[in-house]
Amino acid sequence: MLRFLARRIVLLAVTLLVTSAVVFALTQILPGDVPRLILGRDAPPQAIENLREQLGLNQPVPQQYINWLTGFISGDWGTSFTGGNAPIRPLIMDRLGNSLRLAALTLVISIPISITLGVIAGLRENSWIDSLISILTLSVVGLPEFVTGLILINVFALGLGWFPASATAPISAPLGEWIRQLILPAISASFVLMAYVVRMTRAGVIDELKKTYVRTAILKGVPQSQVILRHVLRNALLPTITVIAVSFGWLIGGLIVIENVFSFPGVGRLMTAAVERKDIPLMQAVVMVTIFFFAISNLAADVLYALLNPRIRLE
């Protein structure tokens, strides 16, 4: 297991290194001159050159990349060009805390419901229950995120008044208050995640029920409920666990639409602001943090899969 984990960590480090080079290269080819964007179009040429030297933009591109990467690894993520030279790291960490709360609440809502529906659909393959669950999940996943968000706001916020239309509670707010504000965006995000988890769970249960060991156990007189709980679900949920773990990275940085609909101050909305303002250091840092969580999510999925299925470690 240790060798397996070591290989995955090395692969994770190589992946992050390659993606960091790609991110830096892509930001270098973006249109616009950073010093001129900061100082304005009417800034004198000497002031622009002085700022370019101060930011290290007059150095060769490989040296700029090395300086940026070493600074990022050491915790110096630079300053925001358009945020009054504010340090980027505290800004991202504050938004990251918000995104982690939203991701956690989304998983708490979606995972139990999704797995339950997937197991029911798998056990009732080709029945009306299976068809109903499939139709509902496919219909929900087909709706754009901003549509589900606006529907939830109009019904439960503006219509019934049960929840606020925006999620702006600070992380220091009482637990009940920020759950109340995050419930609508979490439900909107759950709709997207639930469809994939339900389909994956259903397929896993159907595949396991057709295997020989299940039929043998039932023929030997083992209660069907015991076979399902102890054996079928353990193997059927392996792919589902992988999907859930990988989805955590998407929940951190991929909820840009939902965050904008609910005015939620998360990482995705911060990325939108950085792109609109052409704040390259902020863009680089947000993308790297998002990629890091995607990579960690994939590592967690590999480790969980290996723990539940020892054949993966042997291979």
pLDDT of 43 reads 65
Structure tokens that stand for 232 in this block: 């079928």
Contact 180, 207 (CB under 8 A): no
What CA–CA distance (Å, rounded) separates 26 from 20?
Answer: 10
- How many Å apart are CA 37 and CA 278, to the nearest integer? 8
What are the chain's domains? 2-74 (no CATH), 95-314 (1.10.3720.10)
**Rounded (10°) angle between helices 238-253 and 280-308:** 170
Q: What's the whole-model pTM score?
A: 0.78
| Residue 79 φ then ψ, to 5° | -120, 155
pLDDT at 82: 66
The one-letter amino acid code at 242 reads T
Low-confidence stretches of the chain (pLDDT < 50) are none
Query: What pLDDT is recorded for position 91?
Result: 84
State the Cα–Cα distance between residues 269 and 275, nearest whole angstrom. 10
What the block records as the tokens of 4 is 């397996």
